Structure 1
Amino acid sequence: MSEVVKLRRDGAVLELELDRPKANAIDLATSREMGEAFKAFRDDPDLRVAIVSTAGDRFFSAGWDLKSAADGDAVDGDYGVGGFGGLQELRDLNKPVIAAVNGMAVGGGFELALSADLIYCSEHSSFALPEIRAGTLADAATVKLPKRIPYHVAMDLLFTGRWMDAQEAQRWGLVNEVLASDKLMARARETARMLASGPPLVFASIKEVARAAEAMTFQDAMNKITKRQFASVDVLYDSEDNKEGALAFAEKRDPVWKGR
C-alpha cells in the first residue's frame, strides 16, 4: 500500500505493519489506509487470518496523532471504513485477527490492540489510557475494556490513566501471552498459520455469534443459533465443511477445509 502501511501476504495470512515514526501514531489518512487494507482482508476469500503489528520496539502505537490534529485533523473527522485504525468498527469482520504488541500501546494504540481477537505482547510492552489527563474520553476502550478484564481494574485504568505492564496485563487476562521481543512475531505467525489451517466457516460463526451475543440474553442467543438466524451459522450448517468435519472424524483422518 504505502511506506506507512506495509502489507505482507503469506498464504492465507495477511500481515499489516504500521510504520510511522516516531511513535506509530495514527492520523486520518493513515486510519483510512488501514481501513481499506482490513476491508480488503475481510472481503478476500483466500485470506483467513490477519496479524497487526507496528515497526520498532518502543511504541506499538501512541494512538491518535496530536501533531496532525494541531495541523487540522479533526478528532471527529473521517477515519475511514473501519473507524479509527481501520479495525475497531469494521462491520462483518468474521476472520481471526492477532495483535502483536511490541512496546507502549497508548490511548488509541491500546484500543487498536483491543480490536483484535488475540493479543501477544513483548516483555517490555505496557498499556495506558491517558485520555483522562487531557480531559477527553477513551471511547472505544470505555466500551470494550470492562468486558475484557474485571470491571474495577478497567475503571482504574480509565479513571487514572496509569500504566499497566505486560506481566499485569497477562495476570488480568488482557493479553494471551508475554514473550521476548525476538520471539513475538514468530509466535504470532505460528498461531496465524494454525488458525489459517482451521475451518473458516466455523471461525466466522464464532465471531458473529460472540459479537451479537454481547447485547443478548443467553437464551435469546441460543434460540437465534438454533433457528439459524445468524447468517454465518446458516451458511455453516449447509456447508461442505460441516459434512467434512463429521466424515473426517468417522474416518479417523484430518479434515480438509474448503471454506464452502
Structure 2
Amino acid sequence: MVNASFERENHAAYVTIEREEKLNAVDSETKQAIIEKLDEYREDDDVRAVVLQSAGDRAFSAGGDVQEIPDVDYSLSYFTETWEALFSKMRDLGMPTIAKVDGITLGGGFDLMLHTDFVVAADDARIGQPEVDLGIVNHFSPPMLLQQVGVRKTLELMMTGETISGSEAAEIGLVTRSVPADRLDDEVDELVETLVNKSPRVLKKLKEGIYASTNMSPDAAKVHLETVSLEAARNDPDYREGVDAHLEDRDPEWYVD
C-alpha cells in the first residue's frame, strides 16, 4: 500500500506522505512510488516545483519504517539503496524542491529534509538524527551537514542523537527559514508562488551549477558558473526576455522548450 498522495496545482506538484499513525514513517513501497512520480514530474513542463509535505501536524516524518528491518534480515543496504535513489532523483530533478516541516523530523525524515533545496520549518518542529541509537552509522547526513552547519554541530547532532527546534535549525543554517506553526502553510505557498514564476530553465541551470560547485574550489566554481552563465545568455531566450520585460515594465513570459 502506498502511503502518499500526489497532486498538482498552479505549476507545482505536492507529494504528501500520509501515515499519521506511524508519524509518517516512509515504507519501501511509498518510497518507490515517490521516485516514480519524480520521474514523471521531471518530464512534465507544467511542473516547476515540488513540495514534500506530510499529513497532520505531529510529524513531517519519523524516518524509514523500522518494522521492515527484521523482514529483510537487518540488511542496511536494502534501505540505503532506495533512499539514495530517491535523493538522487531529487538532486537531478531540474526544478526546486521544498520541504514543509512540522512536528517530528527524524532519521530518514531528517535525510529527506536535508536533500530538498528549500526547507520551511515550523519554529516548534523537533528535528534530529537519532540513528546512532539504532546502532547505525549514518552516511547520508554528515557530508551535507558539514557544508551547512560545520564540524562541531555535525558531531553534536550525529553523536548525541538529540533534537533541536525548527527555530534553532534556522539559526544554524540547517533549514531555509522558520516560522510560527500557524504561518507555515502561507510561508510555503508564498515561496512556491515565487519559484514557479521564475524561468524554469534558469532555475534548472542555477540548481545544477550551485550543487556542482559544492565539490569545487572557489576559483573552479567561479569559472564553471561563468561558463554556464555566458552560454545561457548566448543560446537561451531567457536573458533577452528578462531584460526586455524589465525595460518595458511588464512581467516576463518565460518560454519552455
SS in 1 for 2:109: helix
Equivalent in the alignment of 2:255: 258
Q: What residue identity is the alignment partner of 1:240?
A: P
Equivalent in the alignment of 1:7: 6
Maintained 8 Å contact 1:35/1:85: no
Task: Measure how far apart 1:236 and its partner are.
Answer: 5.9
Decide which structure has greater helix share: 2
Maintained 8 Å contact 1:98/1:116: yes
Maintained 8 Å contact 2:120/2:179: yes
Report the TM-score, using the length of structure 1 for normalisation. Answer: 0.89
Equivalent in the alignment of 1:96: 96
In 2, the alpha carbon distance for the partners of 1:22 and 1:49 equals: 27
> Are residues 242 and 193 of structure 1, via their aligned partners in 2, closer, same or farther at CA, if it must alter by over 3 Å?
same
Q: What residue identity is the alignment partner of 1:246?
A: V
> Are residues 79 and 10 of structure 1, via their aligned partners in 2, closer, same or farther at CA, if it must alter by over 3 Å?
farther
In 2, the alpha carbon distance for the partners of 1:3 and 1:35 equals: 12
Equivalent in the alignment of 1:238: 235
Equivalent in the alignment of 2:17: 18
Equivalent in the alignment of 2:76: 75
Deviations 1:106-145 (A, max 9, x none): 0110110111111111232111111112221221111211
In 1, the alpha carbon distance for the partners of 2:79 and 2:36 equals: 13
The sequence identity of aligned pairs, in percent, is 28
Maintained 8 Å contact 2:122/2:167: no
1:220-239 matches, within 5 Å, as: 220-228=220-228, 234=231, 237-239=234-236
Maintained 8 Å contact 2:2/2:29: no
Moved more, 46-55 or 22-31: 22-31
SS in 2 for 1:77: helix
In 1, the alpha carbon distance for the partners of 2:215 and 2:6 equals: 34
Moved more, 249-258 or 119-128: 249-258
Task: Measure how far apart 1:79 and its partner are.
Answer: 6.9
Q: What residue identity is the alignment partner of 1:169?
A: A
In 1, the alpha carbon distance for the partners of 2:168 and 2:254 equals: 38
Task: Measure how far apart 1:212 and its partner are.
Answer: 0.8
Report the TM-score, using the length of structure 2 for normalisation. Answer: 0.90
Equivalent in the alignment of 1:117: 117
Q: What residue identity is the alignment partner of 1:242?
A: Y
In 1, the alpha carbon distance for the partners of 2:4 and 2:107 equals: 20
* Aligned length, in residue pairs: 254
Task: Measure how far apart 1:219 and its partner are.
Answer: 2.1
Task: Measure how far apart 1:252 and its partner are.
Answer: 2.9
Equivalent in the alignment of 1:157: 157
In 2, the alpha carbon distance for the partners of 1:108 and 1:218 equals: 31
1:93-242 matches, within 5 Å, as: 93-228=93-228, 234=231, 237-242=234-239
> Are residues 78 and 108 of structure 1, via their aligned partners in 2, closer, same or farther at CA, if it must alter by over 3 Å?
closer
SS in 2 for 1:60: strand
> Are residues 62 and 237 of structure 1, via their aligned partners in 2, closer, same or farther at CA, if it must alter by over 3 Å?
farther
Instruction: List alignment gaps of at least 5 residues for structure 1.
Output: none
Q: What residue identity is the alignment partner of 2:36?
A: E
Maintained 8 Å contact 2:51/2:99: yes
Instruction: List alignment gaps of at least 5 residues for structure 2.
Output: none
In 1, the alpha carbon distance for the partners of 2:233 and 2:117 equals: 21
SS in 2 for 1:113: helix
In 1, the alpha carbon distance for the partners of 2:204 and 2:52 equals: 19
Moved more, 180-189 or 98-107: 180-189
> Are residues 190 and 87 of structure 1, via their aligned partners in 2, closer, same or farther at CA, if it must alter by over 3 Å?
farther
Task: Measure how far apart 1:36 and its partner are.
Answer: 0.9
Tell me how large the CA RMSD over aligned residues is.
Answer: 2.2
Moved more, 142-151 or 49-58: 142-151
Equivalent in the alignment of 1:248: 245
Deviations 1:143-201 (A, max 9, x none): 21111113211211011111111221121122222233333122212210121011111
